[in-house]
Structure formats: structure tokens, C-alpha cells
Amino acid sequence: MKSSKHQIMYENLSSEVRKILADYHDNIEKLYDCEICNKDSMNFRLYYIHLVSKQHTRNLLLNEGKLNKNKFYCEPCNIRCASKSAYEVHCNREKHKIKCNVE
């Protein structure tokens, strides 16, 4: 809610200036927008931190087709592993062998 001082100032503005201010406030909320991650920010520093984050980098690689999120996926166990070695460790576990009927 606007303070009374701001309200009086706003009421004294012409309709053109009010429209410009309204358009500015509508657009400022979308000032920094990451369409890849569906995130937005009004603060450049927070936006930059997002751009260099692991989450953004991963989404960027997925979007460009350079990362296959199903590369180390075990369908019977419904588990996704981050690396080949983690996938091999998973496959050697007893729970996995039981689900896959491997002895």
C-alpha cells in the first residue's frame, strides 16, 4: 500500500506519466528472465548467480541435447545415477539383482 505522501504525488501526475510508470512497473518484474529454467529475477546479482549455477548449466546442456538425462538410468529400479561408476555400483547391489532376477 502506498504511503499518503506517495499517493498525493501519484494523483498529481498526468495520465501519460501514470501509464509510463505502470508499463515500467509491469516490465521491471521481468527484467532478468531465464527461459531455460523458467526463473526470473529483478536483481542482476541474483540472476548472474543463477546463470553460473549447476542447475542452470545442467538445464542448458539438456536443452542443447548435450546431456542425456537417461544415460545411467536403471528402469527396473527406477534409479538415475550421476556417473558410470555409480551405475555400476548400483548394478552390483543385492536389491538391484533381486529386481532384475540376476544371480
Query: What are 7-56's pLDDT values in tens digits?
Result: 777 677 777 777 777 776 665 556 788 888 888 888 888 888 998 888 88
Considering the domain architecture, whether residues 39 and 55 belong to the same structural domain is answered as yes
* pLDDT band of 92, cuts 50, 70, 90: very high
Which has more pLDDT, 3 or 75? 75
The amino acid occupying position 4 is S
* pLDDT at site 30: 60
Contact 13, 26 (CB under 8 A): no
Which has more pLDDT, 44 or 70? 44
Considering the domain architecture, whether residues 11 and 46 belong to the same structural domain is answered as yes
Considering the domain architecture, whether residues 89 and 39 belong to the same structural domain is answered as no
Residue 93 backbone zone (phi > 0: left; psi -120 to 50: alpha; other: beta): beta
The amino acid occupying position 81 is C
Considering the domain architecture, whether residues 59 and 73 belong to the same structural domain is answered as no
- When divided into structural domains, the chain yields a total of 2
- What's this model's pTM, rounded to 2 decimal places? 0.41
Residues near 42 by beta carbon (within 8 Å), at least 6 away in sequence: 28, 29, 31, 32
Considering the domain architecture, whether residues 96 and 78 belong to the same structural domain is answered as yes
Considering the domain architecture, whether residues 92 and 57 belong to the same structural domain is answered as no
Domain of 35? 4-63
* pLDDT at site 17: 72
Contact 66, 90 (CB under 8 A): no
